Amino acid sequence: MITTPEFTGTHLWDRLCWAKENLEGVQSDYRVVFEDNVDECAKIMVPDPNWMACALQGGILPPVEVYWELAKDEAQPDFKRHTRGYLLHETPPIGPMTEEQAIEYLIMKDCPQSVWQTWDEGNRPKMVICKKSQLPATREWRNSWRISDDLDLAA
């Protein structure tokens, strides 16, 4: 396995360029199905293969909390442009993750907080991690897809 260079202080973009050149993409079999609006169909998050390779390799990606900080800045009414982008580049990168840990990271980065912070509150789950094979085989009635009420969450 190739060794990740010491990337602390290296621009995140440069780290991604190194990863693109040196790491094989990893197509994850995991999918995250979530519902963030009762009037809309379920959404399905698919990890990017190059990002997954970075997550498994370690030493490349910033902690997910960095993205939360930038999201807070962008939520300010007078936001024009990020002034704390250095958080992405100067925060020491995190170590290697398992594929499952990477999916958790991705949920906390790319899914709405209103979904993952309260996914199991209410009458039915708002979010489910599943395998690709557990999704419908065709996109027929895609606009009507919902998380099943018959989930065995202990499985």
Partner 1 sequence: MAFGIIKADTLTHSTAGSVGTDFVVQGSAKAWSNYTSSTTTSYRDSHNFTSIIDDEPGVTTHSFVSSMANNDYSVSTSASAVETGTGSLGGTDHARNYTTSSFKHVTATGAAALTDRPHINNQVCGDLA
- Min separation Cβ 95 and partner 1, Å: 17
Neighbours of 144 (CB within 10 A): 8
> What residues contact 25, with CB distance under 8 A and at least 6 apart?
49, 50, 52, 53
- Min separation Cβ 3 and partner 1, Å: 6
- Min separation Cβ 126 and partner 1, Å: 15
Backbone torsion region of residue 43, taken as left when φ is above 0, otherwise alpha when ψ lies between -120 and 50, otherwise beta: beta
Contact between 126 and 34 (Cβ < 8 Å) = yes
Q: What are phi and psi of 31, to 5 degrees?
A: -130, 145
Cα(13)–Cα(155) distance, rounded to whole angstroms?
39
- Min separation Cβ 124 and partner 1, Å: 20
Binding site for partner 1 (CB under 8 A): 2-3, 5-7, 10-13, 16, 18, 20, 22, 25, 27, 40-41, 43-51, 54, 61, 67, 70-71, 74, 80-82, 85, 88, 106, 109-110, 132, 135, 138-139, 142-143
